[in-house]
C-alpha cells in the first residue's frame, strides 16, 4: 500500500487536469499574443483559466497575473512593488519569520538593495499577534508580506485585521496564500489585501503554474523584462497548456471546498487524536483551531523526525519533516524556531498533510503502525546513546 500524506509539498493532479493539459498541448499551439485565429484560440484558453482562478479567490480576472508558480508570484509581488514604491521614499518591509523561503529570501535580496526589513516572531501558537504587527509598522513601512496559511503547521494568520492596520499606515499588503487557496474559501475582497500569491500544484494543478492577484490601481514593475504579456506585468510567452490545467484545477477545487474540506478535517483530527492517545510524548505544534483543515504537525519526544520519516516511507507512507538535512546536520525548521519552540521539539516534528484523495482506511493504517515504529526507534536511539 502507498499512502500519500504530503499534500502541502505537492498534490496529485486530477485526471481532468491531465487530460486538459494533454489536449491543449496538442491542439492549441498558437501564441496567445498572435492576432490570427490560432493565437485567439490560445488566448481564449488562457482567459478561461484566468476566470477560473479569479472565481476561486473572489477576484476580477483582469487583476490576475498568471505565473510559473508561487515562488514567482511572491518575487513579482515583493520585488515589483518594492521597485514601484521607491519614489515614495519609504524603505521598510515588515514580514514574519514563518514565511516560506520564497518570501524570506526575496526580502533578504531586497535588504541587499538597501531596504530595511523587520522579520517578526510569532508566539507558540504559530499565529502572529496583531499587537506585535502594529508595533512594528510605521510611516517608513512601504510593504508588508504576511502569509495566509503556514505550510508546516497550517496555522491561519488574521490577515483581515493585519491588512487593516497596514492600510491605516499607508503600507501595501501582500499575502502568500499558496497553502490556503483551494483548501479553505479565500476572498481577496474579504481579506482586504493588495496582492495575493497562489500556486497550482498545491491544489491539484500542474507544477510550474500559479498566479499573483494584484488589486486594480496597485503599481507593480515587472520583474521579468521583455514583451507586454499579462498586461505588461509578466513578460514571456504564456505556458498555455499548463495554465489551462491550472484553470481546471481551480474549478475542481472550488467545487469541493466545503464538503471535501470538512471530510479532510475529520480525517486529520482522527489521525491526530489517535496519535496523541496511543503514542506517548507527542504534542501538536501550532494552534489547533486556527488551521487549514488538512495539516497537522506533531513532535515525537526523544526521536529524530527524519528516522521516523524513513521508517514510514519503508511502510509506504509519505510524510515530511520541517527540518532540512543539509550536509549531514539536521537544521531545525525555521518556522518552528520562529515560534520559539525548543530546538529538540523542532527536530522531532513531522508534518502530515492530507488531501481529497485521503481515505479513512489510510488514516487508520498510519495510526495503527505508528506506535510500534516509534517504540522501536526510541529503543534504537537509547541503545545508540548508551554505546556512545
The residues annotated with a catalytic role in the active site are 325
Minimum distance from residue 34 beta carbon to ligand PLP (Å) = 28
Of 143 and 311, which has the nearer Cβ to ligand PLP?
Answer: 143
CA-derived radius of gyration, the chain: 22
Minimum distance from residue 70 beta carbon to ligand PLP (Å) = 3
205 touching ligand PLP, by CB under 6 A: no
283: its cell numbers:
504534542
358: its cell numbers:
485521503
147 touching ligand PLP, by CB under 6 A: yes
Minimum distance from residue 8 beta carbon to ligand PLP (Å) = 6
Cα separation of 185 and 3, whole Å?
A: 26
72: its cell numbers:
514567482
Cα separation of 109 and 139, whole Å?
A: 22
Q: Residue count at the site for ligand PLP (CB under 6 A)?
A: 14
Among 3, 21, 81, 102, binds ligand PLP (CB under 6 A): 102
Contact between 166 and 134 (Cβ < 8 Å): no
Please enumerate in sequence order all residues whose Cβ is within 8 A of that of 379, keeping only pairs 6 or more positions apart, or say none.
none
Minimum distance from residue 91 beta carbon to ligand PLP (Å) = 24
Of 282 and 321, which has the nearer Cβ to ligand PLP?
Answer: 321
Q: For every residue of 266-281, which 3-state class applies, written as one string?
A: HHHHHHHHHHHHHCCC
Within positions 33 to 72, which residues make up the interface with ligand PLP, using CB under 6 A? 69-71
**Residue labelled with grid coordinates 518594492:** 82
Of 82 and 103, which has the nearer Cβ to ligand PLP?
Answer: 103
Angle between helices 37-56 and 240-256 (to 10 degrees): 30
183 touching ligand PLP, by CB under 6 A: no
Find the residue with minimal CB distance to ligand PLP. 70
Among 106, 179, 296, 297, binds ligand PLP (CB under 6 A): 179
Cα separation of 73 and 148, whole Å?
A: 14
Minimum distance from residue 302 beta carbon to ligand PLP (Å) = 29
Among 11, 106, 151, 282, binds ligand PLP (CB under 6 A): 151
Contact between 308 and 377 (Cβ < 8 Å): yes
CA 210 to chain centre: 11
Among 6, 28, 63, 176, binds ligand PLP (CB under 6 A): 176
178 touching ligand PLP, by CB under 6 A: yes
Among 50, 100, 268, 347, binds ligand PLP (CB under 6 A): 100
Among 30, 126, 210, 286, binds ligand PLP (CB under 6 A): 210
Tell me what percent of the chain is helix, strand and coil, each rounded to the nearest 5.
45, 15, 35
Provide the b/e sequence for 174-204 (b: ≥16 CB within 10 Å): bbbbbbbbbbbebebeebbbbbbbbbbbbbb
Cα separation of 246 and 234, whole Å?
A: 17
Minimum distance from residue 262 beta carbon to ligand PLP (Å) = 23
122 touching ligand PLP, by CB under 6 A: no
Of 14 and 196, which has the nearer Cβ to ligand PLP?
Answer: 196
Which positions touch ligand PLP (CB under 6 A)?
69-71, 74, 100, 102, 147, 151, 176, 178-179, 199, 201, 210
Amino acid at each position: 500500500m502507498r499512502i500519500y500524506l504530503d499534500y502541502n509539498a505537492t498534490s496529485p493532479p486530477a485526471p481532468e487536469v491531465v487530460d486538459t493539459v494533454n489536449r491543449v498541448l496538442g491542439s492549441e499551439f498558437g501564441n496567445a499574443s498572435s492576432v490570427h485565429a490560432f493565437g485567439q484560440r490560445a488566448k481564449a484558453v488562457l482567459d478561461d483559466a484566468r476566470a477560473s482562478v479569479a472565481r476561486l479567490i473572489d477576484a476580477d480576472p483582469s487583476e490576475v497575473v498568471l505565473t510559473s508558480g508561487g515562488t514567482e508570484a511572491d518575487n513579482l509581488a515583493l520585488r515589483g512593488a518594492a521597485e514601484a514604491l521607491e519614489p515614495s521614499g519609504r524603505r521598510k518591509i515588515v514580514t514574519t519569520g514563518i514565511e516560506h523561503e520564497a518570501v524570506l529570501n526575496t526580502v533578504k535580496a531586497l535588504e541587499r538593495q538597501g531596504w530595511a526589513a523587520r522579520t517578526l516572531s510569532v508566539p507558540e501558537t504559530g499565529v502572529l499577534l496583531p499587537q506585535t504587527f502594529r508595533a512594528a509598522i510605521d510611516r517608513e513601512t512601504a510593504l508588508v508580506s504576511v502569509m495566509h496559511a503556514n505550510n508546516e503547521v497550517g496555522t491561519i494568520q488574521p490577515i483581515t485585521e493585519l491588512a487593516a492596520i497596514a492600510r491605516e499606515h499607508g503600507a501595501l499588503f501582500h499575502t502568500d496564500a499558496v497553502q490556503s487557496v483551494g483548501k479553505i474559501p479565500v476572498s481577496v475582497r474579504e481579506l482586504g489585501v493588495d496582492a495575493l500569491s497562489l500556486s497550482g500544484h498545491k491544489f491539484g494543478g500542474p507544477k510550474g503554474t500559479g498566479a499573483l492577484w494584484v488589486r486594480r490601481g496597485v503599481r507593480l514593475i515587472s520583474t521579468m523584462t521583455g514583451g507586454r504579456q499579462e498586461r505588461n506585468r509578466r513578460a514571456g510567452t504564456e505556458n498555455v497548456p499548463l495554465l489551462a490545467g491550472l484553470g481546471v484545477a481551480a474549478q475542481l477545487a472550488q467545487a469541493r471546498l466545503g464538503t471535501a474540506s470538512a471530510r479532510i478535517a475529520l480525517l486529520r483530527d482522527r489521525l491526530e487524536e489517535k496519535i496523541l492517545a496511543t503514542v506517548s510524548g507527542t504534542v501538536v505544534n501550532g494552534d489547533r483551531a486556527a488551521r487549514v483543515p488538512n495539516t497537522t504537525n506533531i513532535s515525537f519526544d526523544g526521536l529524530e523526525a527524519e528516522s521516523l520519516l524513513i521508517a514510514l516511507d519503508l511502510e509506504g507512507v509519505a510524510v515530511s519533516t520541517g527540518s532540512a538535512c543539509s550536509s549531514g546536520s539536521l537544521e531545525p525548521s525555521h518556522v518552528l524556531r520562529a515560534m520559539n519552540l525548543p530546538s529538540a521539539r523542532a527536530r522531532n516534528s513531522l508534518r502530515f498533510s492530507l488531501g481529497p484523495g485521503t481515505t479513512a482506511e489510510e488514516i487508520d493504517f498510519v495510526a495503527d503502525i505508528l506506535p510500534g515504529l516509534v517504540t522501536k526507534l526510541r529503543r534504537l536511539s537509547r541503545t545508540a546513546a548508551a554505546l556512545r
